[in-house]
């Protein structure tokens, strides 16, 4: 009962943040006007601003946060690593390489773009895990993280190389990817990202109990009838899919997957089914809030969304790292 009230409260906060994000802008609106405009009431200009510009932006931010939060929760549990998250593991970087390559080849449609990102993300997580295993085992969370950071650096370099003789327009596009942004949100992007987030989220919720078991370690998972190698492979792929879809839609938004699962655990959630669901909700709220901060900090300029989440995430990372050792 207390837990239900707590989650209702958190959901209301997320909703309030989303309404605030829609209300704030060059033309400030009241919360009442926002709700009316979403329903199609009020003057035509306001309805147009809300429905075609601000609502898709807020929904995109909610979806990006939900996807990254769930991916982070799943990766931390399956890898037994409190520092794991898509950005630090190089998964998002790999996805960005895939996305930039797809755009360079002229394949930026709603099907090809996320799939190219996914291919890059899956390759990146495979390489990061392989490097970690070859250099002292996945058991040490710091080794895996170093491998991920190296994969991320390589991905950055690969993007630079691809851009070296690209037209200025493509460079601007790629920079946008590397900094993360929900500014160019449109309903098409929102629609396909919603499909990927719903699909990936449902698969993770389905496998959540296995993540509970995987977090005991390989031997105990085997003792409970779970094939740790196979099960964790599926979870990595789903987490890669979720992160890749968010990268294809909004670029690199780091540290959300790191911070959010710890926030959910801090309110007493332990089992991964609740943890993943809670991470979706809190992640959605965090990215909407971060986008609001990005717009409020130095108007009329907008800070890159990825920079805002990194400014929040890096100190958090250091605290977690300290706790680890």
Binding site for another protein (CB under 8 A): 76-77, 80-82, 206-207, 209, 212-213, 215-220, 222-227, 265, 270-271, 273
Nearer to another protein, 111 or 219 (CB): 219
The least distance separating another protein from the CB of residue 92, rounded to whole angstroms, comes to 22
Name the minimum Å distance from CB 83 to another protein.
Answer: 10
Which of 169/266 has CB closer to another protein?
266
Residue in 68, 69, 61, 135 with CA at minimum distance from that of residue 95: 68
Cβ proximity to another protein, 203 vs 240, nearer residue: 203
Give yes or no for a contact between 305 and 176, defined as CB atoms under 8 angstroms apart.
no
Q: To which residue do tokens 């990202």 refer?
A: 193
Helix (H) or strand (E) run with residue 262 in it: helix 256-266
CA distances from 200 to 69, 81, 196 (A): 12, 21, 6
Task: Report, in Å, the least distance between residue 167 CB and another protein.
Answer: 47
Task: Compare residues 186 and 268 and give the one whose CB is closer to another protein.
Answer: 268
Nearest to 34 by CA among 44, 22, 43, 45: 22
In terms of CB distance, is 157 or 206 closer to another protein?
Answer: 206
Per-residue tokens: 149: 């950071």
Beta carbon of residue 217, minimum distance to another protein (angstroms, whole number): 6
Closest CA to 71 of 130, 111, 16, 125: 125
Q: How far is the CB of 196 from another protein (least distance, A)?
A: 21
Both structure tokens of 43: 């003057």
Query: Whole-number minimum distance, CB 103 to another protein, in Å?
Result: 38
Cβ contact 206:238 at 8 Å: no
Q: Which of 77/313 has CB closer to another protein?
A: 77
Please check whether residue 34 is in contact with residue 22, taking contact to mean a CB–CB distance below 8 angstroms: yes
- Evaluate the omega torsion of the peptide bond into residue 154 and state whether it is cis, within 30 degrees of 0: no
């Amino acid at each position: 009962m207390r837990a239900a009230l707590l989650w209702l409260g958190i959901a209301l906060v997320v909703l309030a943040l989303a309404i605030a994000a829609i209300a704030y802008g060059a033309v400030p609106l009241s919360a009442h006007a926002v709700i009316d405009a979403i329903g199609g009431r009020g003057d035509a200009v306001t309805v147009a601003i809300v429905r075609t510009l601000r609502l898709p932006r807020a929904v995109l931010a909610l979806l990006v946060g939900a996807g990254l939060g769930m991916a982070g929760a799943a990766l931390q549990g399956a890898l037994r690593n409190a520092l794991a998250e898509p950005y630090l593991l190089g998964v998002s970087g790999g996805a960005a390489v895939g996305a930039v390559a797809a755009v360079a080849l002229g394949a930026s449609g709603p099907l090809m773009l996320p799939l190219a990102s996914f291919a890059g993300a899956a390759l990146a997580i495979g390489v990061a895990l392989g490097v970690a295993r070859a250099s002292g085992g996945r058991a040490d969370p710091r080794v895996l993280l170093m491998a991920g950071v190296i994969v991320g650096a390589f991905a950055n370099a690969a993007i630079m190389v691809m851009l070296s003789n690209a037209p200025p327009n493509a460079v601007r596009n790629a920079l946008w990817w590397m900094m993360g942004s929900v500014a160019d949100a449109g309903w098409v992007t929102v629609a396909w990202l919603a499909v990927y987030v719903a699909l990936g989220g449902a698969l993770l919720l389905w496998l959540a109990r296995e993540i509970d078991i995987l977090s005991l370690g390989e031997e105990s998972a085997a003792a409970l009838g779970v094939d740790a190698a196979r099960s964790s492979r599926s979870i990595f792929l789903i987490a890669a899919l979720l992160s890749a879809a968010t990268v294809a839609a909004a670029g690199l938004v780091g540290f959300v997957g790191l911070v959010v699962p710890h926030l959910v655990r801090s309110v007493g959630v332990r089992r991964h089914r609740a943890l993943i669901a809670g991470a979706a909700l809190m992640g959605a709220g965090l990215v909407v809030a971060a986008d609001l901060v990005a717009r409020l900090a130095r108007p009329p300029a907008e800070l890159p969304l990825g920079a805002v989440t990194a400014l929040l995430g890096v100190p958090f990372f250091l605290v977690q790292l300290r706790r680890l050792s």
